[in-house]
Amino acid sequence: METPTASLQLKPGRDKPVHNRHPWVFSGAVGRLHGDPQPGDLITITDERDNPLATATFNPRSQIVARILSWDPAEPIDDAFWGRRLERAIAARAALGLSSDAGAALVSPAPRLPGSPVPASPTTAYRLVNAEADGLPGLIVDRYGDHLVMQCLTLGIDRRKAMLTAQLAELLRPAGILERSDVDVRGKEGLRLLIEPRHGQPPPPEMTIHENGHAFLVDVWRGHKTGFYLDQRDNRAAVGRPALLAGREVLNVFAYTGAFGVYAAAAGAARITQVDSSAPALEVAERNMALNGFDRPDDELIAGDAFEVLRYYRETGRQFDVVVLDPPKFAHSQGQVERACRGYKDLNWLALRLLRPGGLLATFSCSGLVSADLFQKVVFGAAVDAGRDVQILQHLGQAADHPVLLSFPESAYLKGLLGRVW
């Protein structure tokens, strides 16, 4: 069992976030540090009168100097504590209908006619642990078939990753566990970037996963995030309905490996144009179509800058029935939010100008610093400037295996709108 090596006393009036169960303590809230803790140690968080409030991991190298593990200062932080948190997260995914059993067989789906119902099939790739939202600050664990991919984003988790790896191996018995700690945020924690196998067999260079009856090729070693945009699963299903897409001409922008495109093909879209800056990603998108039994010679794959491609389509009078915008994070810091909003506005203005009356716009932002309200205001501004009326049909967000902690609004990073455009 670990015990706190020091106590961190908050400044007067700076204890409200802790009482509200926000898991971060910023350096500006620190009054005094009692003791000599080492980076990564457990510490006790106290109010200005030294009343214990919580137990946290400590990192003086980070602007987030403490990350709270328990709001009960008396709760032991031992192996059993970490095990309970992991078990709770895994059980929560099982309750969503996502199996926590590793080693599920992967069977390629049979070709199907456009517009036919999606057959029942297991979803074999999803998030098992979502960091602070699962009470494990800085730990991400994603399942891809019979392999797990983990990210250790904070010093507190990094120091304990051997124990956490052993517990994951015991609980889930995967074929292997890969650490993909190649995220820039580690630099703010004083940690180097790394990609290393941690347990069992290393995953293959490419694997096949299933999602809602569709199959996708994934590279968990070098692919975006941990290999795939798992957080968009529910949105792909919401947008990719035959009632919305059958017989429609679809533009998928920032397509990556074409997941939205596969859903569109399955829904009976008449023609699909997929745009991404990466030609290799689009090659995988083409292979994903074939993997799902689709032969679509009239579809287009465009490797290029999304803004330039959209401007070209506007200048040439090209129009579509459906546009999907899923750009990368535009804002990495508070100072970049204003510039990010200008980018989102320009992008959505271009998309709105390309849509036929009655067309659909599915637009997203994965910038956590851009709130859902702010994003909606940005899209509203784009609609006004484009001279288009937009009816919001559905607010979109991250999949249910990426839960949002009510006391931690920062965990609500993915937001989107599905709108009809006139």
| Residues labelled catalytic | 366
- As a whole number of angstroms, the distance between CA 227 and CA 204 comes to 12
Segments of 366-406 assigned E as strands: 390-397
How far CA 162 is from CA of 128, 151, 406, in Å, comes to 18, 12, 30
Q: At 182, which amino acid appears?
A: D
Backbone angles phi, psi at 411, to 5 degrees: -75, -10
CA 23-133-392 angle, to 5 degrees, is: 115
- As a whole number of angstroms, the distance between CA 146 and CA 176 comes to 7
Burial class (CB in 10 A: 0-12, 13-18, 19+), 277: middle
3-class SS at 304?
Answer: coil
Report the length, in residues, of the chain: 422
Q: At 346, which amino acid appears?
A: D
Rg (CA), the chain: 23
Q: Do 238 and 264 contact (CB within 8 A), yes or no? A: no
Return the structure tokens found at 43.
């510490």
| Strand 52-58 versus strand 64-70 pairing type | antiparallel
